[in-house]
Structure 1
Amino acid sequence: MANATHEAGSGPLPRQIPYIIANEGAERFSFYGMRNILTPFLISTLLLFIPLEDRTGEAKHVFHTFVIGVYFFPLLGGFLADRYFGKYNTIFWLSLVYVAGHACLAIFEDNLTGFYFGLFLIALGAGGIKPLVSAFVGDQFDQTNKKRAKVVYDAFYWIINFGSFFASLLMPLFLKNYGPSVAFGIPGLLMALATLIFWLGNKKYVHVPPAPPSPDSLTRVARTALLAKKPGQGRPGLVVAAMGAAGAVVSLLMSFSWGFVIAACTALVLLLAFGGIGTAMQLERARGHHPDEAVEGVRAVLRILVVFALVTPFWSLFDQKASTWIVQANAMTSPVLNLLGWEFQILPAQMQAVNPALVMLLIPFNNLVIYPLLRKGGVEPTALRRMTAGIVFSAVSWLVIGWIQVSMDAGTPMSILWQLAPYALLTMGEVLVSATGLEFAYSQAPASMKGSIMSFWTLAVTVGNLWVLIVNASVKNDAVLGHIGDTGLSVIAFQMFFFAAFAMVTALLFGLYARRYKMVDNYRAQPAVA
């Protein structure tokens, strides 16, 4: 019976999982604790030297630039873990950098350079460990207990939102009542605790060693494919890749007018997109130079990257709940609520607590109610179907938030509680896209690319926030403002409906691609040994 259970993938849960889950809960409290008060702090305190009419736009720019950094540095963390130090060591040492960043925020509350340096350290630390912790969870499983992985990934995502909920609820109060030193210092203490918990489980973890340099790595297979000549044929893939490289150079040269962050991120996107397309066009030319397994591994990665690229618009919508939605909430009325005799007034930044609270409810609700009902109806809620539906939910949430903005622009006073509806829709989208994406990314990644693939998953968030910066920069153009004015909508309302349409189109493309995608199983074959 035990062997049958193991063969079915339903073996026992690894005993080291609680350390990783507890670490994640404390780390996420620290991250969301500082992130959710960042925009209000910038507007009310740090950016007072900027004219009032420009302050909100600059705060949004700083916020999304920070988020871009958080989700860019996973590339560095994934590379260091996969090639040199392994996941555990990379997570531990970057966690200490993370703690130092929190300390800078608390110490340099009124110093622009010191505060921004703290944001850089947090982006480096949080970003560097982000893909590795979720990949480290997957390393604790093998074929004997792989079915437990979905439950653990759901628990992993649940604890993320448990930490986020209390951070979103409490940190705005600490900022208002005790000031930024305390409000930014508490998340730092939580990050130190998270690092300690992670260290305590060291002896129990499964440590998958970093892969040695391989002559058949993804980059070497791609290079061979692009450079290989075929008698009587040109190299169209190389031409496409060269176009991407040329576009990247042009993008970097535009740094002075676009800003470095937009220019650098656009350059990276062009290199990855055109390089990937070019490699796919000539991939078969790598056969004979590299083993078939390596060539098929690159093909698998390229197919995964298409999925990740199509998810980027979701993140452009999701992350604006901590910027655009807060700006809208600042202009809304906030009623005094009475809960069991305790009267309180909701602060705009506290509305973000709705998101993690709903996540903690929706994950078990979907698993226990929605998915079983779909299966009974003959519809299997596969990972890609869930993600398609999630993008649609996010688009609908922005239609609702746009309607709220139009009503406000018409002079109708709107209660902050109206935001509950779009928060509910966006959160359902998050559960279907983000929680599912963690499992999908790990299961589809070739063994030697686990950390790097998880890094590309987080890079999708960077690109999503890049779209936000590009749209925000474009509405500063007089011609664009003129076209928006012709619609009769305010700039912020127009942007809301634009992002909703952006997501709807992407959902259609995602659904079409999902029908052609063939799932694979890349969990380890041998039992885990701690």
Structure 2
Amino acid sequence: MSHAANAPYRSAPTETTGMPSGIPFIIGNEAAERFSFYGMKTILAVFMAQYLMTSAGTPNYYTDSEAREWVAWFVASAYFFPVIGAFIADAFLGKYRTIMLLSMVYCLGHAALACIDLPPAILQVTFEPKSWLIAGLFLVAVGSGGIKPCVSAHVGDQFGEANKHLLTRVFGWFYFSINFGSFFSTLLTPWLLKKYGPGIAFGLPGILMALATLVFWLGRKRYIHIPAKGWAFVRETFSRDGLRAIGGLVSIYVFVAVFWALYDQTGSAWVLQAAQMNCDFAGIVWLESQIQAINPLLILIYIPIFSYLIYPFVGRFITLTPLRKIGAGLFLTVAAFSISALAQAKIDAAQEAFRAQVAPMVASDSIDFAKTTDKLRSQERNATAQSIEKLLAEAKPA
């Protein structure tokens, strides 16, 4: 059945040494999709803590800790649904149809987020902004998470034995497109939120996701469509050998999970931390959400530096395996979060010192205010009494 569904398309790579013709469409799709995801995620914590309103136009903000918690749940969901998306693609729909279907869900999620900024008259007869927010985040998590394992695997499907040597180059472009889209979105959407509000700030990523879906669809006749394996895949996956293979990966993913749990604080805790700091740098006052642009910018800069200078030089003395590179990166991650913790400790200490300094002044002002209020009330009572006496005197017969 799955073979018949994929009949109009090629189901096996051609024996060519050149670049597969569908690759530009996949790369373009990835750049636009990553713009949409990171553009939305970049402003999420700040929007929740500073911009969320009710349908009546009154503030309905989350606290900083609540905003961090919601962002964490959203990211966790976005990384849970890849398991579901991969299973659907491999067992039932194939990668192309799974990507197309869940990309439409993804677009609906962005549309729901843009509806947060509908006119109050419309919001009052539909849903509260907070309801649009939760619905949008759920749909984006399903869509973005579901396509995540399929797109990169779809890249690999385009290559055969004759041109598989080009895979490294293509995945380099693929990774570049991710950070290219991420960099520009993390600079742009915080500014749009501040300048034009959440409707435009959430709407533009939605437009980019619609564009990503269109670009991917335009390349459909150029792709290699590997058919889904059906229930045979399900039986193989949940067989004793399949479960044993999955279990063998658990020890690796424990460390990976710790890293990502820390890394994703850069999109919530670090953003809210930046709101308490001086963001004036290079003569520009940056928005707190824009600090996230540093990561993709440094990746774009460091990819050629490490690939052509640092790795070849270090490789003369040490064999650089992928695991060693990952290990070095994890140690640097510890250093980065230690610096963040020290910065937060200084912020907290400064706030405590400020409160200790201001508290006596507030107490003194409160006492003075109370005395002034009592004095005014006394004067008011005296004036009222005098007015009554005057009226009574005038009312007496002569």
Offset at residue 11 of structure 1 (A): 4.2
Work out whether residues 10 and 147 of structure 1, in 8 Å CA contact, stay in contact via their aligned partners in 2. Answer: no
Q: Report SS of the residue matched to 2:89.
A: helix
Q: Deviations over 1:412-450 (max 9, x none)?
A: 9xxxxxxxxxxxxxxxxxxxxxxxxxxxxxxxxxxxxxx
Pick the aligned partner of 1:180 from 190, 198, 201.
198
Is residue 285 of structure 2 the alignment partner of residue 345 of structure 1? yes
Q: Match of 2:216?
A: 198
Structure 2 distance, partners of 1:151, 1:305, is 30
The one-letter amino acid of 2:18's match is P
Structure 1 distance, partners of 2:204, 2:295, is 21
Q: Match of 2:165?
A: 147
Q: Match of 1:310?
A: 255
The one-letter amino acid of 1:14's match is P
Offset at residue 46 of structure 1 (A): 1.8
Offset at residue 92 of structure 1 (A): 0.6
Q: Match of 1:225?
A: none
Q: 1:147 to 1:371 in 2, by over 3 A?
A: farther
Q: Report SS of the residue matched to 1:209.
A: coil
Structure 2 distance, partners of 1:389, 1:321, is 20
Q: Report SS of the residue matched to 1:410.
A: helix
Pick the aligned partner of 1:406 from 345, 356, 376.
345
Offset at residue 86 of structure 1 (A): 0.2
Pick the aligned partner of 2:268 from 319, 323, 326.
323
Q: Match of 1:41?
A: 47
Work out whether residues 53 and 129 of structure 2, in 8 Å CA contact, stay in contact via their aligned partners in 1. Answer: no
Work out whether residues 10 and 146 of structure 1, in 8 Å CA contact, stay in contact via their aligned partners in 2. Answer: no
Structure 2 distance, partners of 1:361, 1:215, is 41
Residues 127-526 of structure 1 correspond to what in structure 2 (within 5 A)? 127-214=145-232, 217-222=235-240, 295=241, 299-335=244-280, 337-338=282-283, 344-377=284-317, 379-411=318-350
Structure 2 distance, partners of 1:389, 1:128, is 30
Q: Report SS of the residue matched to 1:13.
A: coil
Q: Deviations over 1:181-216 (max 9, x none)?
A: 011110000000000100111111111111132288
Structure 1 distance, partners of 2:53, 2:260, is 26
Q: 1:299 to 1:386 in 2, by over 3 A?
A: farther
Structure 1 distance, partners of 2:131, 2:230, is 40
Q: 1:31 to 1:220 in 2, by over 3 A?
A: closer
Structure 1 distance, partners of 2:250, 2:300, is 29
Number of positions where the alignment pairs a residue of Structure 1 with one of Structure 2: 324
Residues 88-127 of structure 1 correspond to what in structure 2 (within 5 A)? 88-109=96-117, 111-127=129-145
RMSD: 2.4
The one-letter amino acid of 1:19's match is F
Offset at residue 361 of structure 1 (A): 1.1
Is residue 66 of structure 2 the alignment partner of residue 58 of structure 1? yes
Gaps of at least 5 residues in structure 2 are 1-14, 118-127, 352-398
The one-letter amino acid of 1:91's match is I
Residues 14-33 of structure 1 correspond to what in structure 2 (within 5 A)? 14-33=20-39
Q: Computing the radius of gyration over CA atoms, which structure comes out larger, 1 or 2?
A: 2
Offset at residue 10 of structure 1 (A): 11
Work out whether residues 17 and 137 of structure 1, in 8 Å CA contact, stay in contact via their aligned partners in 2. Answer: yes
Q: 1:145 to 1:302 in 2, by over 3 A?
A: farther
Work out whether residues 21 and 159 of structure 1, in 8 Å CA contact, stay in contact via their aligned partners in 2. Answer: yes
Q: 1:175 to 1:215 in 2, by over 3 A?
A: closer
Work out whether residues 25 and 215 of structure 2, in 8 Å CA contact, stay in contact via their aligned partners in 1. Answer: yes
Structure 1 distance, partners of 2:68, 2:272, is 9
Q: Report SS of the residue matched to 2:51.
A: helix
What's the % identity of the aligned pairs? 43
The one-letter amino acid of 2:310's match is I
Structure 2 distance, partners of 1:392, 1:299, is 30
Work out whether residues 106 and 185 of structure 1, in 8 Å CA contact, stay in contact via their aligned partners in 2. Answer: yes
Offset at residue 217 of structure 1 (A): 3.6
Q: Match of 2:125?
A: none
Work out which structure has the larger RCO, using CA pairs closer than 8 Å and 6 or more positions apart in sequence: 2
Q: Deviations over 1:286-323 (max 9, x none)?
A: xxxxxxxxx4x655443334322221111011100011
Work out whether residues 91 and 234 of structure 2, in 8 Å CA contact, stay in contact via their aligned partners in 1. Answer: no
Work out whether residues 175 and 182 of structure 1, in 8 Å CA contact, stay in contact via their aligned partners in 2. Answer: yes
Structure 1 distance, partners of 2:159, 2:329, is 27
Offset at residue 69 of structure 1 (A): 1.1
TM-score, scaled relative to structure 2 = 0.76
Structure 2 distance, partners of 1:51, 1:208, is 48
The one-letter amino acid of 1:28's match is R
Work out whether residues 83 and 210 of structure 1, in 8 Å CA contact, stay in contact via their aligned partners in 2. Answer: yes
Q: Report SS of the residue matched to 1:211.
A: coil
